[in-house]
Amino acid sequence: MKLILKPIPAGSFRIGDPAPLDLFDAQGKLLLARGQIVKASTFELLCARQIYVLEYECTTATKVQRFPTEIYRNILGFMQRIFYDASLVSPERLEQTMLTVENILRELGRQERTYISFNEFRTYDNNTYVHSVNVSLLATLIGQEMNFRGHELKLIACSGLLHDLGKLSVPLEILNKPSELTSTEFALVREHTLKGVDLLRQANAPLELVGAIRSHHERWEGHGYPQGLRQRAIPEIARIIAVADVFDALTADRPYRAGLPPYHVLEMIMAGAGVDFDPEVVMALWRCLILYPENSVVKLNTGEIGMVIAIPKNFPTRPLIRILFDRYGNYVSREETVDLLKDLTRFVISVDFQCVS
């Protein structure tokens, strides 16, 4: 990545208005700082020469690729049809689901590393089938990291797509309830795992798929449901789905709360390793989840923009950042770094992956 001077027309600013950005001459000399009022005398001087603003430009090949929006939309449309018509859960539809899984695996296999912008895709809809597609994508990345291949990886991706199929039996007013569920309502929601099992059995689904759907709410130390299974007694695919399910659920907005930042959710899941989740699966999530790779440009909650220059080995959610622009959009010429591991008041709110090397 490099910083460049980009020319702008004189019409971009007016007398009496504050400068929209730092304004430079062709040699990079600061003529007027952002926020300073453009006086009549200054305006004449600015109009007499070419004015530039400072931006960043990628200079390295991009190895981290986004999962294509068009393919995501196609998968979403397929899942929408399933979730709007339970009668479509049949052996034929299950076979078509496997073909959809092929699209997921094919696309994820094209690149060494794939970035999935879950919140961006969530703008299309926030229903159960959207969550299911996100869980499938993330579970597949985790499975790849754990060296699953071929048919087993297909089962992981398919389990992600169908893990909440049983929620078809839960009234929408309960699923979307903005307040705390009653004990009766919560018991009804918990039944979705077994309802999903019933639907899959009608479709003659593989036993591994049925087991994953039944057990994706089991927890490592036995406090999950529906059977209270512990550790290795929980099917391995279900352990993977459990982690992907929680990650996507907590980062999404819900009627009763706003979604949490991905870094916060990852920290919560890592804290639950060995209690709620299989530690091996959690480590696979940590390795495959791309939050802030080195050289990515990030925006902080303070409005500052910077570049990730280092990632602590044991704290990937708290990178070291070189500040490029301050909260007002002014270029920071002096060397200024922020260690998010030490400064807990600041955190990343968005990432630009176009400059990842």
Query: Across the beta sheet with 51-57, what order do the strands follow?
Result: 2-8, 51-57, 23-24, 30-32
Q: Which of 61-65, 201-205, 271-275, 277-281 has the lowest mean pLDDT?
A: 61-65
Confidence label for 143 from pLDDT (cuts 50, 70 and 90):
very high
Residue type, 254: R
- CATH topology (fold) of 64-288: Hypothetical protein af1432 (1.10.3210)
Mean pLDDT for 266-294 is 88
Q: What is the identity of the amino acid at 120?
A: E
Q: pLDDT value at position 62?
A: 40
Which of 28-32, 95-99, 170-174, 208-212 has the least mean pLDDT?
Answer: 28-32
pLDDT classification of 278: cutoffs 50, 70, 90: very high
The highest-confidence range among 29-43, 60-74, 142-156, 308-322, by mean pLDDT, is 142-156
Query: Whole-angstrom Cα distance, residue 31 to residue 37?
Result: 12
Instruction: Determine the pLDDT at residue 72.
Output: 80
Which pLDDT does position 357 carry in this prediction?
45
Q: What are the φ/ψ torsions at residue 180 (nearest 5 degrees)?
A: -65, 140
Q: Is the pLDDT of residue 80 over 90?
A: no
Q: What is the mean pLDDT of residues 97-112?
A: 78
Q: What is the pLDDT of residues 315-340, one digit of tens each?
A: 777 888 999 888 887 888 788 889 98
Q: What pLDDT does 60 receive? A: 44
CA 308 to chain centre: 18
Mean pLDDT to the nearest integer, 42-67? 68
Other CB atoms within 10 A of residue 328 CB: 12
Q: Which residue has the higher pLDDT, 14 or 256?
A: 14
Where are the domains positioned within the chain? Answer: 2-57, 64-288, 297-355
Question: Which tokens belong to 184?
Answer: 């009766």
Alpha carbons 229 and 240: distance in angstroms, whole number:
15
Q: Is the pLDDT of residue 2 over 60?
A: no
CA distance 21 to 330: 7
pLDDT in tens, 155-186: 999 999 999 989 888 888 888 788 888 999 99
DSSP 275-304: TTB-HHHHHHHHHH--SS-TT-EEEETTS-
In angstroms, the CA 144 to CA 152 distance is 10
Please tell me which residue, 47 or 88, carries the higher pLDDT value: 47
Query: The pTM is what?
Result: 0.72
* Phi then psi dihedrals of residue 31, to 5 deg: -95, -40
**What is the reported pLDDT for 172?**
81
Q: Helices (DSSP H) in 163-230: which residue ranges?
A: 172-175, 183-190, 192-202, 207-215
Distance CA 233, CA 239 (A): 10
pLDDT digit string (tens) for 340-350?
A: 888 989 988 87
CA 77 – CA 70 distance, rounded (Å): 11
CA nearest neighbour of 246 among 235, 236, 238, 256: 238
What pLDDT shows up at residue 64?
A: 56
- Residue 283 vs residues 23, 216, 319: alpha-carbon distances, Å: 46, 18, 18
- Which stretches within the chain are classed as H helix? 40-47, 69-84, 91-108, 118-121, 128-145, 150-162, 172-175, 183-190, 192-202, 207-215, 236-251, 262-271, 279-288
> What is the rounded CA–CA span in Å between residue 185 and residue 340?
41
pLDDT at 159: 95
Say what angle helices 183-190 and 192-202 make with each other, to 10 degrees: 30
- In angstroms, rounded to a whole number, what is the distance separating the alpha carbons of residues 111 and 273? 29
Q: How many helices (H) and strands (E) does the chain have?
A: 13, 11
pLDDT tens column, 188-244: 999 999 999 998 998 889 999 999 999 999 999 999 999 999 999 999 999 999 999
* Average pLDDT of the chain, as a whole number: 82
